[in-house]
Amino acid sequence: MNDSQTNPEQKQQAKKPKAKGKGEFEKKERSMRMPDINDEKFLSEVSKMTALTPYSLASQFNLKVSLAKDLLEELSKKHVVKSAGGNARVRIYQAGAA
């Protein structure tokens, strides 16, 4: 048999792409409250972190990334952290002398 004589159902089955097993994941609720900047526990946790990025801060304290960016800017203004580099999209900070 050549290709023109095969069953049309077999052609359709052969053309269907297999699903890549994208499992369902649980969406985490992120907090919209900014932690207290003057809290000793918060400052000690921040000082333990070597490189501070908005993503690392958001992951550590269960915050939204936009809120973590604002938090890093506030900490930078109070000289708790200092800018270590980055670009226009992502800033990288390191803990300074608190």
Query: What CATH number does residue 56 fall under?
Result: 1.10.10.10
Structural domain includes residue 47: yes
- Is residue 98 predicted with pLDDT exceeding 60? no
Over the stretch 21-37, which tens digit does the pLDDT of each residue have?
677 767 766 667 778 88
- Is residue 46 predicted with pLDDT exceeding 60? yes
Confidence class for position 83, pLDDT limits 50, 70, 90: very high
Which tokens hold the place of 98? 């608190």
Which tokens hold the place of 17? 């792409």
Predicted TM-score of the model (pTM): 0.66
- Is residue 42 predicted with pLDDT exceeding 60? yes
Q: Are 51 and 57 in contact (CB under 8 A)?
A: no
Structural domain includes residue 31: no
Sequence-distant (≥ 6) Cβ neighbours of residue 72 within 8 angstroms:
52, 54, 57, 81, 91, 93
The pLDDT value recorded for residue 88 is 87
Structural domain includes residue 14: no
Structural domain includes residue 48: yes
CA 50 – CA 65 distance, rounded (Å): 18
Domain that holds residue 61: 40-98
Q: Are 70 and 76 in contact (CB under 8 A)?
A: no
